[in-house]
């Protein structure tokens, strides 16, 4: 029985990966058709194309979680696009390092999704809730709320890449700080995810709140790491000049999304399912870890 489950999951992951490979190929093709546009518009058009393609696959498999890896795959695709379009002689060590770091981010978050994804029949509980509440409008909600909205958030979050791959570093201390934040955020989120996965693997913890390790210092250390990733990108852009302050709109909007949408939804569910969460909520800060 267990081997059958693993085979089913492996097949589902294989299908999902093929969907993303096809999508990436089509995205690059779509982007190439608009190379007379400014690169930010070119990427926006390609990005929208990719979102629509994944949305069609979500309908095909009747599962909006088909979109979930898009959040983590998209940044490395955009970074790779910028990198390969830069003439070889103009590439810098800083840009190569950034590509490796954003690749590490993509690998960590994508792997975490597939580790927790049981297969094509598994759909995020938030999406199932939308199905139950708005059955007649589900796919409309799915497109705008589950697919397009995150696409816009990540597009804004990736704006610093335009600066990183088109400008020279002028404020190296901000660049070093950005590298430190970006690497630290990936490491923080990875450790938090592994600690939570180990905790949940014990059946005795099914109705309990994780309050050990990083989770004893912050109620959402994984989200804290995710938010820091986008601020790391912003500081890397600032390292190329303070006039690129406008690229921080992505980090700001993603932070607000977590503070006012993602975290409240998760905590409302936790309160309804775990009796010990109220005490945990009172004693542990939401994001910024308590030091003492």
- pLDDT of 292 reads 53
| Alpha carbons 9 and 119: distance in angstroms, whole number | 5
Q: Which of 187, 176, 185, 164 is nearest to 230 (CA)?
A: 185
pLDDT in tens, 54-113: 999 999 999 999 999 999 999 999 999 999 998 878 899 999 999 999 999 999 999 999
Q: What's this model's pTM, rounded to 2 decimal places?
A: 0.94
Taking only the tens of pLDDT, the chain with its 292 residues reads 344 444 588 899 999 999 999 999 999 999 899 989 999 999 999 999 999 999 999 999 999 999 999 999 999 999 999 999 988 788 999 999 999 999 999 999 999 999 989 888 899 999 999 999 999 999 999 999 999 999 999 999 999 999 999 999 999 999 999 999 999 999 999 999 999 999 999 999 988 999 999 999 999 999 999 999 999 999 999 999 999 999 999 999 999 999 999 999 999 999 999 999 999 999 999 999 876 5
Two structure tokens written together for 62: 């009747």
| Alpha carbons 175 and 149: distance in angstroms, whole number | 29
């Amino acid at each position: 029985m267990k081997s059958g489950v693993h085979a089913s999951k492996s097949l589902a992951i294989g299908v999902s990966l093929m969907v993303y490979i096809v999508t990436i190929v089509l995205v690059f093709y779509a982007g190439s058709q608009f190379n007379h546009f400014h690169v930010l518009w070119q990427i926006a058009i390609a990005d929208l194309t990719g979102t629509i393609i994944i949305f069609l696959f979500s309908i095909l498999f009747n599962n909006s979680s088909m979109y979930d890896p898009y959040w983590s795959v998209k940044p490395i695709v955009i970074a790779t696009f910028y990198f390969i379009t830069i003439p070889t002689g103009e590439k810098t060590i800083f840009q190569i390092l950034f590509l490796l770091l954003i690749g590490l981010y993509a690998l960590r978050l994508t792997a975490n999704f597939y580790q927790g994804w049981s297969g094509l029949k598994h759909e995020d509980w938030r999406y199932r809730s939308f199905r139950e509440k708005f059955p007649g409008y589900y796919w409309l909600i799915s497109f705008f709320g589950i697919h397009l909205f995150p696409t816009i958030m990540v597009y804004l979050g990736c704006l610093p890449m335009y600066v990183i791959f088109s400008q020279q570093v002028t404020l190296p201390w901000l660049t070093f700080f950005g590298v430190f934040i970006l690497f630290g955020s990936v490491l923080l989120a990875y450790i938090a995810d592994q600690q939570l996965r180990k905790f949940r693997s014990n059946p005795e913890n099914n109705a309990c709140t994780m309050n050990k390790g990083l989770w004893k210092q912050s109620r959402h250390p994984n989200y804290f790491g995710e938010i820091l990733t986008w601020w790391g990108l912003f500081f890397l852009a600032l390292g190329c000049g303070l006039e690129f302050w406008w690229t921080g709109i992505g980090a700001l909007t993603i932070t607000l999304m977590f503070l006012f949408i993602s975290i409240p939804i998760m905590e409302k569910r936790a309160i309804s399912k775990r009796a010990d969460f109220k005490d945990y909520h009172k004693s542990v800060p939401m994001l910024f870890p308590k030091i003492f």
